[in-house]
Amino acid sequence: MSASVARSYVDALGTERLAPPQTVAQFEELVAEEPHHFVAPALVLRAGEVLSLDVTLPAMSWTEPLQWALVREDGSTADGVVALRDAPVLAADHRPASTYDTRRIAIAGPQPLGTHQLSLTVDAYARALVRVLVVPERAHQPRGRVWGIALQLYTLRSARNHGIGDFADLRAVCRLLGERGASYVGINPLHATFRGDPESASPYAASSRRWLNWLYIAVDDVPEHAGAAARADAFDSLCAGDHVAYAGVAAVKDELLRACFAALAGDAARAAAFAAWCDEHGEPLRRFAVFEALVARFGRELSTWPQAFAGPDSPDVALFGAAEESEVRYSMYLQWLAAEQLAAVSADAARCGVRLYRDLAVGVDPNSADVWADAGAYLPQVSVGAPPDLLNSLGQDWGLPPLDPRGLAREGYAELLAIMQSNCRNAGALRIDHAFSLARLYWIPRGADPRSGTYVTYPLDDLCGVVALASVREGCVVIGEDLGTLPEGFRERMEAVGILSYRILFFERSADGAFVPPEEYPALALAASGTHDLPTISAWLRGEDVELRDRLGLLETPLDTDKDARARDRKALLDALVAHRDLAPDALDDDTAVVVAANRYLAATPCAIVMAQLDDILVERAPVNVPGTSTQYPNWRRKLSTPIEALASDDRLARLCTALNEIRPRATP
């Protein structure tokens, strides 16, 4: 299935909108199927399907044999010959020079899961290489009805960290929650941000979705760490603030980690392990490291770089990397440490009955390492966003370049599979942000008004197969964030392939505004009491998020109107919690009681996974992110007011875990 451009679409208000003709023309040119006179570059098969494909050749070639050779992912091979005359003709194209027939060729029987290379040759007529992906029917499935608690890793406050939550803090929280019966600990995306621009902190506009954020390295857990410490005054100020001081944190950690890197040469075993890891990750890792060195030299804006460095394959880039070998190796060292610590946290958590629930952002920054390293997989002329809706009548431009549907197929979906596998790794579950991107994305001509965009469809069945392959390989449940205007049949397709729906308490409402009762939630779903884009329950109950958006100039209706609406919503929620006997009528003003009740309400659903929010039970009032803002609000910076050392004795957390365990006790292995 090739991509297509919508000439019109129905918005969130049910209004049909016509796409500007110039937008449609531009996008249709970008997604037009590349002419192939022989065979498509990629083929996605389900497990158990025979290896067959369609080939297009001059009709006069029907007497020729087709020779094929298959190299499977495991290195095994097979080959053979197919008589074209025996293949059925599906279509005929009468061109000026000749008639071309499209025939379906049966190559071989079912193949093992994985990515394979198929060479095809018809002497004197055509030859091609086809990337064949054999994918499972369904993604890895959850077991039982379990619960977990989600948090933003950078918000964790501890006596030992360097002003930002890190992997050692995460390990401590996983142990604590595992002892309390949790099956999952959810975290924000761990994607690599721009090392040279630490204040660009959004995990949803990263430099790479394949590599990790070095700021989460716990320096005191690095074997090369020899007891070096930051200046006490710098350390104290970084830890004491209510917000992560990214520039200061980065400066301190960089100083300490460079000392660790210098000490690596003195440990032969560790140096050999590092070298082996670099060899294992090969060219993709080196490209990322060279990119970081180039950014340090030329800045973040790719358009200002000398043309010789515009792509990773030029001789000048190779020479630059060689000249900056120490910096390149340091970048690779940081990735090794981050990967090493994440794997250790995952293994330690698993021993406590906990799996990590990771998060995959919908895209990367247009000046990112991912775009530079594989420009053919992205469309820099386009930006991803959202059409006008109830929250934003002007629409949204997220500034992220979309994956190129043609480039995806041309590369055999290699970029998507690599992204999926790297994020499923060391995780028991993965949330795909804006999972509608598997079916369609709202494209906007870069620099244009968001209202001038339209939807572009993607090959949903193929992309679902790639997701399922990564999921099964890594043993990772996949959740598709399906909030917003649903493409027709999307949830049904997700259910068929075993991808969980994503249900948020505040949004599960009936037509009259009442909250949907627990028994009406779907079983194949993750239910949660909030997200990083929503206010905490305490703030929501008081309408503080409405007041904040008004102060920031983001409300498009009068403040009193929105506050009255929130008062009605608050009453509806509290009524639902009382009616379901999760909340006592005399506890309506008790924040902790309401948070526990809201999560008890969700725990009663058939949903496979229920995730509470650490921010909610600790009664945080300030949001971590206000959608639609950048510098107007300190997004992705607010720390928890409660340090992790105090969590073990925190009665609020104990009440929540006890309530969830009563309804969803962890099954005995």
Mean pLDDT is lowest, of 234-248, 408-422, 479-493, 617-631, for: 234-248
Q: Is the pLDDT of residue 651 over 70?
A: yes
User: Would you say 309 and 298 are in contact if contact means Cβ atoms under 8 Å apart?
Assistant: yes
b/e burial code for range 259-297 (CB count within 10 A of at least 16 → b): ebbebbeeeeebeeebeebbeebeebbbbbbbbbbbbee
- Which residues, in sequence order, are CB contacts of 438 under 8 Å at separation 6+? 432, 458, 460, 463, 464, 467, 480
pLDDT band at 97 (very low <50, low <70, confident <90, very high): confident
Instruction: Give residue 229's pLDDT.
Output: 54
Residue 493 pLDDT: 96
Burial class (CB in 10 A: 0-12, 13-18, 19+), 228: middle
Candidate from 197-201, 384-388, 572-576, 661-665 with smallest mean pLDDT: 384-388
pLDDT at 16: 86
For 497-525, the pLDDT digits (tens) are 999 999 999 999 999 999 999 999 999 99
Quick one: average pLDDT of 83-112? 88
User: Mean of the per-residue pLDDT values for the chain?
Assistant: 94
Report pLDDT for 555. Answer: 86
Q: Percent of the chain scored above 70 by pLDDT?
A: 97
pLDDT value of residue 636:
97
Report all structural domains of the chain as residue ranges with CATH numbers, in order of start: 48-135 (2.60.40)
Phi-psi region of 660 (alpha: psi -120 to 50; beta: other; left: phi over 0): alpha
626: left (phi over 0), alpha (psi -120 to 50) or beta: beta
Angle at 159 between CA 153 and CA 160, to 5 degrees: 75
pLDDT score recorded for residue 227:
54
pLDDT of residue 630: 84
**Structure confidence by residue, pLDDT tens digits, 625-646:** 998 888 899 999 999 999 999 9
Element (H, E) at 357: strand 355-360
Helix (H, G, I), strand (E, B) or coil at 387: coil
Predicted structure pTM score: 0.95
Look at residue 390 and tell me whether its pLDDT is greater than 70: no
Q: Is pLDDT above 90 for 35?
A: no
Contact 529/616 with Cβ under 8 angstroms?
Answer: yes
Average pLDDT over residues 370-395: 86
* pLDDT above 90 as % of the chain: 83
Band the pLDDT of 96: cuts 50, 70, 90.
confident
pLDDT tens-digit readout, 233-247: 567 788 889 999 999
Element housing 315 (H / E): helix 315-323
**How far does the chain reach from its first CA to its final CA, in angstroms?**
43
| Residues 65-76, mean pLDDT to the nearest whole number | 96
- The pLDDT value recorded for residue 65 is 93
Are 81 and 65 in contact, with CB atoms under 8 Å apart? yes
List the structure tokens of 44.
Answer: 């996605």
Q: Which residues pair with 613 in a beta bridge?
A: 150
Per-residue pLDDT tens for 116-154? 999 999 998 899 999 999 999 999 999 999 999 999 999
pLDDT band at 394 (very low <50, low <70, confident <90, very high): confident
